[in-house]
Chains A and B, each alone.
Chain A
C-alpha cells in the first residue's frame, strides 16, 4: 500500500491520475502532461514533492561528518547555500544523489530521493558515529512544494516578504510564505528558475491553495511526475535508478566534478574512486535526438547503424515538447563519437531507429 502525501485529497479533487512511485501515492498528471510541461517552460508549475526525504545533521561535528560521509566538501559550503552532491558506497558506486542545504554553521539538511532516503538516513547515521552530531530523519515532518518556471518569482513574491531577489540559485533561506514557516530554496529539477518550499506537513494544503490562487493570473498549473520527468530529461539532469545506480561511480555518470579529493581526511568511497580520477571512462553519458517519432526508452540498446553492433544503452527517453522530437539520455562507449560511420540508432523493439548524438542538456533556459 502506497503512502499518501499530505496533499493527496487536493490531488484527488483536481482529478489527478495517481501512481505508485517509490512507495508513495503521487500525482502522475492532472490532465495533459504535455500542457503541464509547457506551463513550466512558459509560465509556472506547482509540484508536490513531499515524497523526498529530509535528513538533518546538527551539532559541532556536522560539517566534518558530511565531509566523511559524502563525496563533496560540505565544510566549505556557506550557511544559506546548497550543493548538489552524492553519497557513495565503499565501492565508489552511487547510493544516491543529494542536495545538501547548510542552514546554519552547525546545521545541515540533506535532501534524498524517495527511493533511497531510508538507506541514506541509515548510512549517514552509521558514518556520523565518530562525530559530535545528531542525525535525524525528519522526512515525516515535511511537505515539499515546488513552484517552477519563469513566472515563479512573481508568484512566490506575492506571498512572502523574504528577499527573493537576493536569493541565489542553490541557496535557501527561512521565511514565511502565505504565513507559513518555510525553508525557501531556489532549487529545482526542471531546468527553470524556481523555488522548493519545505514546510510542515500540516501546512501543505493551505500553502498549496495560497500558491494556486497567487499563481492563477500567471498561468500556474499543477504538474505531476510525468511532466517532472520530461522537464528534467530536457534539462539533462540524471535520475537515480536511470542514469545513476550503485553499479556506476560519479565518474561513470559524467559527474566526477562533485567528488573532492583535495579535502582533508578520508571519505567513504575515496579508496575506490581515487584511482579512477584520471582514467578515461569506458562510457559516457550523452543525449540522443531521434529523427523519427518512435521514442527510445530506458533499457533500449544503442547500436551502430553500419553494422548493428551494440555501442550503448538508453537510460531515459521521452517525447520532447521543447524539441518536438523524441529525446533520450544514454551511456555510449567512449570510442564512439558522433562521426561514427553511418551514425547511431536505437533498437526500438527490433527496429533500428536513427538518432543523432548531441551534448547535454537538450534545453537551456534564457537567463
Chain B
C-alpha cells in the first residue's frame, strides 16, 4: 500500500494537487500509487509555461517501460512553471512522486477547482482498483 498524504487533493486520474488551501497556485504530480502501477517512468512531457488549460484537458504524458498515460489538467488556469528536473530525469516520478517528482504549477482561474477527491476518497479509489 503506497502512501497518500493527508494534505493533498487528488483526481480519479491519480494526480495529486498541492496548495489549494493556501491560495491560487497549485502544484501537480502523479501519486505513488500511479507511479508504482506504471513502473519505471522513462519520459515525462509537461505543458508549456504560459499555456492556458481547462480542467480535464490532456496536457502532457507520462511514459513507462510498459505503457503511456495522459496527464490531465486537474484545474483550469495558466501553467506558470514546469519541473525541468523531472523532464531531464523521469525516474524522479518513481523515487519521489509527491516531492521532486512534481510536474507543473497552475495559477487557478476562477474559484471552482473542479471535482477533486479528498485523501479518504482517493484511498477508496485505489482500493477499488486493486
Interface residues of A (CB under 8 A from B): 17, 28-29, 32-34, 226, 229-230, 293-295, 297, 318-319, 326, 349
* A294 engages B65 (CB within 8 Å): no
Contact with A along B45-59 (1 / 0, CB 8 A): 100000000000000
With beta carbons under 8 angstroms apart, the residue of B43, B61, B63, B94 that contacts A32 is: B94
The residue in chain A whose Cβ has the minimal distance to the Cβ of B94 is A32
The residue in chain B whose Cβ has the minimal distance to the Cβ of A37 is B65
Chain A residues with Cβ under 8 A from B68's Cβ? Answer: 295, 297, 349
Min CB gap B96→A, angstroms: 14
Min CB gap B16→A, angstroms: 21
Min CB gap A242→B, angstroms: 13
| C-alpha gap A34/B65 in the complex (Å) | 8
- A and B contact pairs by CB, cutoff 8 A, 8 listed: A17-B36, A17-B39, A32-B40, A33-B66, A34-B65, A294-B43, A319-B43, A349-B68
- With A17-B36, A34-B65, A226-B66 known as contacts, the answer to whether A295 contacts B94 (CB < 8 A) is no
- With A293-B42, A294-B43 known as contacts, the answer to whether A318 contacts B63 (CB < 8 A) is no
Min CB gap A81→B, angstroms: 35
- With A32-B94, A295-B63 known as contacts, the answer to whether A226 contacts B39 (CB < 8 A) is yes
The residue in chain B whose Cβ has the minimal distance to the Cβ of A348 is B68
* B39 engages A295 (CB within 8 Å): no
- With A226-B66, A319-B65 known as contacts, the answer to whether A295 contacts B40 (CB < 8 A) is no
* A295 engages B43 (CB within 8 Å): yes
Chain A residues with Cβ under 8 A from B39's Cβ? Answer: 17, 28-29, 32-33, 226
| C-alpha gap A29/B36 in the complex (Å) | 10
With beta carbons under 8 angstroms apart, the residue of A17, A226, A229, A319 that contacts B42 is: A319
Chain A residues with Cβ under 8 A from B65's Cβ? Answer: 33-34, 226, 230, 318-319
Count CB-based A-B contacts (< 8 Å): 38
Min CB gap A202→B, angstroms: 30
Chain A residues with Cβ under 8 A from B36's Cβ? Answer: 17
Chain B residues with Cβ under 8 A from A297's Cβ? Answer: 68
* A33 engages B40 (CB within 8 Å): yes
**Further contacts, 17 of them, CB under 8 A, given A226-B39, A226-B66, A229-B66:** A17-B36, A17-B39, A28-B66, A32-B39, A32-B40, A32-B94, A33-B66, A226-B65, A230-B65, A294-B45, A295-B42, A318-B66, A319-B42, A319-B43, A319-B63, A319-B65, A326-B42
| C-alpha gap A318/B65 in the complex (Å) | 6
Chain A residues with Cβ under 8 A from B40's Cβ? Answer: 32-34
Chain B residues with Cβ under 8 A from A17's Cβ? Answer: 36, 39
Min CB gap B99→A, angstroms: 18
Chain B residues with Cβ under 8 A from A33's Cβ? Answer: 39-40, 65-66
Chain A residues with Cβ under 8 A from B61's Cβ? Answer: 349
| C-alpha gap A28/B64 in the complex (Å) | 13
| C-alpha gap A131/B39 in the complex (Å) | 49
The residue in chain A whose Cβ has the minimal distance to the Cβ of B39 is A33
* A293 engages B43 (CB within 8 Å): yes
* A294 engages B63 (CB within 8 Å): yes
| C-alpha gap A297/B69 in the complex (Å) | 13
Chain A residues with Cβ under 8 A from B66's Cβ? Answer: 28, 33, 226, 229, 318
Contact with A along B4-32 (1 / 0, CB 8 A): 00000000000000000000000000000
Chain B residues with Cβ under 8 A from A226's Cβ? Answer: 39, 65-66
| C-alpha gap A220/B36 in the complex (Å) | 23
| C-alpha gap A32/B43 in the complex (Å) | 15
| C-alpha gap A199/B36 in the complex (Å) | 33
Chain A residues with Cβ under 8 A from B63's Cβ? Answer: 294-295, 319
| C-alpha gap A295/B68 in the complex (Å) | 9
Chain B residues with Cβ under 8 A from A326's Cβ? Answer: 42
Chain A residues with Cβ under 8 A from B45's Cβ? Answer: 294
Min CB gap A314→B, angstroms: 13
Chain B residues with Cβ under 8 A from A29's Cβ? Answer: 39
Min CB gap B14→A, angstroms: 16
Min CB gap B40→A, angstroms: 5
